[in-house]
Amino acid sequence: MKLSLGSDHAGFDYKEAIKDHLIKAGNEVIDCGTFSDASCDYPDYAHAVAISVEQGASEFGILVCGSANGVAITANKHASIRAAICWEKEIAILSRSHNNANVICIPARFVSVDSAIDMVDVFLSTEFEAGRHALRVGKISC
């Protein structure tokens, strides 16, 4: 699977751990940055991940920042992006199965790195249920 990954400085260590995990699992990862834990602006990386998913360069996006709010707000400015803040596996499952989310946003300050990796794994392996959910998802874009 081809995936885009990005973070700000607060999520940098998590991004690196997730990237290593995904590559070891055989995925192709587009690292959209940041590339250090130096203070930076999260929209730069959230837009890069969203554009990668929007243009079909990657199937899904993964964003990490301190609260996940900033990257989710930014990514959701893109009409075809459905970015979901996830803080536990069940939320990650529902974001895919009910909302057809294509970007997972993880709050590094509120979950462990192991939990973040588990959420990414379940997010990527969960299928969209479609059916009644497809009608609702079809009403999201403005």
Over residues 81-106, the mean pLDDT reads: 98
Mean pLDDT, the chain, rounded, equals 97
Count of C-beta atoms within a 10 Å radius of residue 71:
32
Tell me whether residue 59 is in a domain: yes
For residue 142, which amino acid is it?
C
Q: How far is CA 130 from CA 62, 89, 93, 101, 121, in A?
A: 22, 20, 14, 12, 20
pTM of this structure: 0.97
Q: Which of 9, 40, 98, 133 is catalytic?
A: 98
* 142 given a catalytic annotation: no
Range 17-36 average pLDDT: 98
75 token code pair: 């990514």
Set 32, 65, 86, 105: catalytic member: 65
Is 98 catalytic? The answer is yes
| Domain enclosing residue 38, as ranges | 2-137
The single-letter DSSP state of residue 11 is G
In a domain, 142, yes or no: no
- Does 141 have pLDDT greater than 90? no
Instruction: Evaluate whether residue 53 is within a structural domain.
Output: yes
- Give the total number of structural domains in the chain: 1
Within the chain, residue ranges assigned H as helices are 12-24, 42-54, 69-75, 89-97, 113-125, 132-137
Domain of residue 116, CATH code: 3.40.1400.10
CA 19 – CA 33 distance, rounded (Å): 11
Cα–Cα distance for residue pair 10/110, rounded to 1 Å:
11
**Within a domain: 38:** yes
- pLDDT of 42-77, one tens digit each? 999 999 999 999 999 999 999 999 999 999 999 999
